Chains A and B, each alone.
Chain A
Amino acid sequence: MKWPRPNNMMLQVAIRFISLIIFAFSIYLFLAGHNNPGGGFIGGLMTASSLLVLYLAFDMKTIKDVIRLNFTVFIGIGLLFAVGTGIISMLFGYQFLKHFFDTFQLPIFGEVELTTALLFDLGVYLVVVGAALTIILNIAEDEK
């Protein structure tokens, strides 16, 4: 008896949704940080995993064509964000890494507390996404 050729249709369809859900949850975790469990590091790791499941379900080449990003650059940009927030407080005559916060009235969200520490966290987030994906993709690409 001849077996039908295996295919990943189920996985590929499911992953499209799952990846989105993980991604959304990672953004939630990222924003929840500061006062609750969450933050840039685990948010970044989760975003990286949401992208990774795509690489698992489809093959490297397909995803490479869809996501044309150089993740190494993320590390540089993220580090810039993190150090930049430290330096900006210095430019205004405060001590390095001093952070500020205030509550604002935003149209849809209502009263929201915005902090400059979030920008620092965004830096951490980008570094983690960049580093995790660079490492894993480099190992995956190694054919020797």
Chain B
Amino acid sequence: MNNLVVLPIVIPLLTGMLLILFKQYIQLQRTASFLALVGTTLVHCLLLFEIKQSGVQAVQMGSWPAPFGITLATDMFSALLLLTSNVVALICLLFAFHSLSAEIEETYFYSLFLFLITGVNGSFITGDLFNLYVFFEVLLIASYVLVSIGGKKKQLREAMKYVVINVLSSSLFLFAIAYLYSITGTLNLAHLSVRVAQTGQDALITAVSLLLLIVLSIKAGLFLFFWLPGSYSAPPTVIAAVFAALLTKVGIYGIIRMFSLIFYHETHVTHLFIGILAALTMILGGLGASGYGDIKKILTYNVVIGAGFILAGLAAFSPEALNGSIFYLIHDMISKALVFLIGGIVIHLTGTTKLEDMSGLIRTHPALGWMFFITILALAGIPPLSGFIGKVLVTEGTFVSGYYWLGAIGLLASIMILYSLLKIFMNAFWGETILSVEEEKGTTKGLMLPVALLTTLTIVIGIFAQVLVPYVDLATYSLLNPEVYIEAVFSGNPIP
């Protein structure tokens, strides 16, 4: 038992609730939400070290033993994601202080932001399939409001689509859970893993696992990403950045957890299918990113390519490939937030999203331009930045497992990422300066600090990847050896 595991859910939840009561006090809201995220980040650091010392941490809600009660469990994989997502959220919060209008801030923005983080943290921590659904709902409901906050016409239109798609996929999620419960008689992830291993993964269970895959793919933007470019380009910059960095990653986490802990017996069916979806996602996302001439569209299609690339590593399902996926997941959270924030600043300065209407920003904003350039290199996977190691390991893993086509498409997608982002760089930053400082539609005051922090993070993670290796190795170990997770959840009790 370790109550530390509960804190990542309780701290943001409690702070968010308290802030509902103090709607008018903006300064208090800012300070409290900032402190709450600092608190969760510290907790995640502690968790990380504790897991490294003594293995997977689990806690049973209300002391009901494992398969009967609700389990929360974090292994190294979820701890790494928790830490990264909270650091990114913290930095985005700094950006929010300077970029949001007072009207949005007073519309419970900080409470909703914290509820979103509660949902994200909860999904990473929970050890129970139904609770995964519940935490998905928590973050989705918060995101419904965040998409439409401000109430512009475009936002309402996109919010409508977003809500319909997600309600549909959530209902399919419930169906899948119900099927799985009627087949195995349990919803505890560890117990499910044991039961499926005992009876063998027959065709029925594989079919249900594919239903779950479809549901999680909608959330992760894997192949079924048709809703994503619209919804992610509607809300204010900082909200779009948080969505791009965190929301799809929760879906990806769900897929990786399900197909490494429970459905790992029929890899030639399920994992091959994931591989095909990942390849299609990368191709379609790459075409979208290189085809459009609108900053927001290009960036949202980049989110899609990232999802495809991470899951290519899962499809290969070897230690190197999973190591690569985890590295790339961490990198992707940071750099997607970064690239969205920079894109948002560019749009803020020029007042347009069309690439052809902007030019030569590098003369007036050199720091912004060069940081964007670093981000491009990181996303394309140039050493020594954060994207490099993940890309190398995933590609190596796919080649070792015999998925040559998948690795090749991954490399092709990297070139498309590079092309699409260089297009933004050439058009927006290079060229003749057509906009003097006085003519700009907004200022970068206060917005540069978060961007600089994230850029530093991509460089640091790239250079000191060696420090991260033991942690990532441990994460991969617990993904490839489900008995470690099961052992921690049941902690020696008999498994019914």
A73 B62 Cβ-Cβ under 8 A = no
Given the interface pairs A90-B3, A90-B6, A96-B6, the reply to whether A77 lies near B63 with Cβ below 8 Å is no
B426 beta carbon closer than 8 Å to chain A = no
Q: Which residues of B contact A97 (CB under 8 A)?
A: 61-62
Are B62 and A98 interface neighbours, CB within 8 A? yes
Given contacts A73-B20, A76-B20, A95-B1, contact A87 B61 (CB under 8 A): no
The yes or no answer to B60 lying at the interface (CB within 8 A) is yes
Determine whether A79 belongs to the interface, using a CB cutoff of 8 Å to chain B: yes
The chain B residue sitting closest to A82, CB to CB, is B17
Q: Report B11-38 CB contacts with A as 1/0, cut-off 8 Å.
A: 0011001101100000000000000000
Residues from chain B with a CB closer than 8 A to the CB of A77 are 21
Q: Shortest CB–CB separation between residue A116 and chain B, in angstroms? A: 11
Does A95 lie within 8 Å of B60, measured CB to CB? yes
- Tell whether A42 is near chain B: CB-to-CB under 8 Å: no
- Give the distance in Å from the alpha carbon of A72 to the alpha carbon of B107 in the complex: 12
Q: Is A94 an interface position by the 8 A CB rule?
A: yes
| Contact residues, B54-87 vs A (CB, 8 A) | 59-63
Q: Decide if the interface of chain A is mainly helix, strand, loop or mixed.
A: helix
| Chain A 67-125 interface residues, beta-carbon cutoff 8 Å to B | 72-73, 75-77, 79-80, 83, 86-87, 90, 94-99
Which single member of A75, A87, A96 contacts B62 (CB below 8 Å)? A96
With A and B bound together, what is the CA distance between A80 and B3 in angstroms? 19
CA distance A95 to B72 in the complex (A): 11
Provide the main secondary structure of the chain B interface: helix
Q: Is the CB of B20 within 8 A of A86?
A: no
Contact yes or no, B17 A76, CB < 8 A? yes
Instruction: Report the contact-size class of chain A (Cβ under 8 Å from the partner).
Output: 10 to 19
* A94-B63, A97-B61 known; A86+B10 contact, CB < 8 A: yes
- Which residue of chain B lies nearest to A80 when distances are taken between CB atoms in the complex? B17
The answer on a CB contact under 8 Å between B62 and A95 is yes
Chain B residues with CB below 8 A from A98, complex form:
62-63
A97 CA to B3 CA, complexed, in Å: 11
The CB with the most chain B CB atoms within 10 A, among A80, A83, A97, A99, is that of A97
How far, in whole Å, are A131 and B225 apart by their CA atoms in the complex?
A: 33
Report whether A83 and B20 are in contact in the complex, using a CB–CB cutoff of 8 Å: no
A83 and B3 alpha carbons, distance in the complex (Å): 14
CB-defined contacts of A94 to chain B, threshold 8 Å: 63
> Which residue in B10, B18, B20 is a CB contact (below 8 Å) of A87?
B10
Q: How many Å from the CB of A76 to the closest CB on chain B? A: 4
Report the bound CA distance from A96 to B62 in whole Å. 6
Cβ of A120 to closest chain B Cβ, rounded Å? 10
Taking a contact as CB atoms under 8 Å apart, the answer to whether A76 and B21 are in contact is yes
Contact, CB under 8 Å: B61 / A80: no
Task: Verify B18–A80 contact, CB threshold 8 A.
Answer: yes
Across the A-B interface, the 10 shortest Cβ-Cβ residue pairs = A76-B20, A79-B17, A96-B6, A97-B62, A76-B21, A97-B61, A95-B63, A98-B62, A98-B63, A90-B3
Residues of chain A whose beta carbon lies under 8 Å from any beta carbon of chain B: 72-73, 75-77, 79-80, 83, 86-87, 90, 94-99
